[in-house]
C-alpha cells in the first residue's frame, strides 16, 4: 500500500493515520495576507493570519468594525481568496482545486449564516431552506424531508409555509440557520448572526448554535460584537487592523 489516498474531491492527500497525533484541523490558514486594491486606495484587510480550527471546535472572532472579520470568514468559507498564504480544508490546500470543486466543497461542507439573513422573500420558508439542496442530486421529496427536519431543529416547524416577511428577525435567522443545516454541513460560518437581534432573540440563536456544536459536533466559527456571546464559545480570536492580537 502506498501512503496516499484519493479523497472524494480528487485531491491526493497523505493518510492522516500515517502521522501520529496529527491534529484534526478542518480549516487551517497559514500566513494569510489580503489586500483590497481600488483605483485610489489599497486596504490591507488581513495581515499575517495563522489560524487552525479543529474539528468540533466553537471559535468566536471579535474586533472593531473594519478590522477584517468578514474577510477572514469569507476566506475560511472559500468565498474569497487571499493574496498570499495557504488555505487548507481537511489538511489539503485548496489552491489547486478547480472552481467547480470549490463550489462543491462550499455547498456540501460549509453552511453560512449572515447578519442580515439573506433569505429570498418570494420563497416560502421551506423553499428557502431547500435552496442549497437544489444544486445536489437529491429528489424533491428528500429535499422537503431534509428541509422540514432542519426547521424542526430550530423550532420553526409551525412556520414552514410562511414567507420571510411574515416572521420576526429571530425567526428569520432561525430559517437561515435551518437553510445552513439542510445541507448537513460539518462547518458553520456565522458572520454576526445575532447582530440585528435583541438580546432575547440573540440568546435563542446562540443556544441553537451551542446545541449544534455539542450535540452534533458541528464545527462553528462565529464573528460577534458581543462579549457575552463570545464567552460562551471555547476560544476567542481577536483581530485589530487585520492582524491577530492575543
Binding site for ligand ADP (CB under 6 A): 36, 38, 43, 45, 63, 65-71
Percent helix, strand, coil in the chain (nearest 5)?
A: 35, 30, 35
174 Cβ partners below 8 Å, 6+ apart?
154, 155, 156, 204, 205, 208
Smaller CB separation from Mg ion, 97 or 114? 114
164 binds, among ligand ADP, Mg ion, none (CB under 5 to 8 A by kind): none
Closest separation between CB of residue 25 and ligand ADP, Å? 22
23 binds, among Mg ion, ligand ADP, none (CB under 5 to 8 A by kind): none
Smaller CB separation from Mg ion, 151 or 209? 209
Q: What is the C-alpha to C-alpha distance for residues 119 and 130, in angstroms, rounded to an integer?
A: 11
Residue nearest to Mg ion (CB): 70
Q: Is 71 in the site for Mg ion (CB under 5 A)?
A: no
In angstroms, how far is the first alpha carbon of the chain from the final one?
A: 44
Closest separation between CB of residue 38 and ligand ADP, Å? 6
Closest separation between CB of residue 115 and ligand ADP, Å? 10
Geometric angle at alpha carbon 174, from 236 and 181, rounded to 5°: 75
38 binds, among ligand ADP, Mg ion, none (CB under 5 to 8 A by kind): ligand ADP
Smaller CB separation from ligand ADP, 85 or 164? 85
> In the structure grid, which three cell numbers stand for residue 153, read together?
431543529
Smaller CB separation from ligand ADP, 204 or 241? 241
Q: What is the C-alpha to C-alpha distance for residues 182 and 145, in angstroms, rounded to an integer?
A: 9
Q: Single out the segment in contact with Mg ion by CB under 5 A; choices: 20-28, 64-72, 105-113, 136-144.
A: 64-72
Helix (H, G, I), strand (E, B) or coil at 162: coil
Backbone angles phi, psi at 88, to 5 degrees: -120, 135
Q: Is 224 in the site for Mg ion (CB under 5 A)?
A: no
Q: How many CB atoms lie within 10 A of CB 82?
A: 21
User: Considering CB under 5 A, how many residues would be counted as binding Mg ion?
Assistant: 2
21 Cβ partners below 8 Å, 6+ apart?
none
66 binds, among ligand ADP, Mg ion, none (CB under 5 to 8 A by kind): ligand ADP
Q: Is 160 in the site for Mg ion (CB under 5 A)?
A: no
Q: Is 70 in the site for Mg ion (CB under 5 A)?
A: yes
188 binds, among Mg ion, ligand ADP, none (CB under 5 to 8 A by kind): none
Q: What is the C-alpha to C-alpha distance for residues 115 and 32, in angstroms, rounded to an integer?
A: 24
Smaller CB separation from ligand ADP, 42 or 99? 42
Output DSSP code: residue 103.
H
| Binding residues for Mg ion (CB under 5 A) | 69-70
Amino acid at each position: 500500500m502506498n501512503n496516499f489516498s484519493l479523497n472524494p474531491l480528487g485531491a491526493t492527500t497523505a493518510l492522516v493515520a500515517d502521522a501520529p497525533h496529527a491534529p484534526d484541523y478542518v480549516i487551517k490558514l497559514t500566513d494569510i495576507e489580503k489586500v483590497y486594491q481600488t483605483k485610489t486606495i489599497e486596504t490591507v484587510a488581513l495581515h499575517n493570519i495563522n489560524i487552525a480550527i479543529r474539528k468540533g471546535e466553537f471559535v468566536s472572532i471579535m474586533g472593531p468594525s473594519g478590522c477584517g472579520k468578514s474577510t477572514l470568514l469569507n476566506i475560511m468559507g472559500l468565498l474569497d481568496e487571499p493574496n498570499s498564504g495557504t488555505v487548507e480544508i481537511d489538511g489539503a490546500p485548496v489552491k489547486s482545486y478547480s472552481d467547480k470543486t470549490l463550489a462543491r466543497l462550499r455547498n456540501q461542507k460549509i453552511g453560512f449564516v449572515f447578519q442580515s439573513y439573506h433569505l429570498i422573500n418570494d420563497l416560502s420558508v421551506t423553499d428557502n431552506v431547500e435552496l442549497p439542496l437544489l444544486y445536489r442530486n437529491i429528489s424533491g421529496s428528500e429535499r422537503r424531508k431534509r428541509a422540514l427536519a432542519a426547521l424542526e431543529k430550530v423550532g420553526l416547524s409551525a412556520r414552514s409555509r410562511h414567507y420571510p416577511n411574515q416572521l420576526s428577525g429571530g425567526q428569520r435567522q432561525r430559517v437561515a440557520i435551518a437553510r445552513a443545516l439542510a445541507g448537513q454541513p460539518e462547518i458553520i460560518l456565522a458572520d454576526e448572526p445575532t447582530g440585528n437581534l435583541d438580546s432575547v432573540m440573540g440568546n435563542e440563536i446562540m443556544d441553537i448554535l451551542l446545541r449544534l456544536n455539542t450535540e452534533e459536533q458541528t464545527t462553528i466559527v462565529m464573528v460577534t460584537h458581543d462579549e457575552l456571546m463570545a464567552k460562551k464559545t471555547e476560544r476567542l480570536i481577536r483581530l485589530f487592523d487585520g492582524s491577530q492580537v492575543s
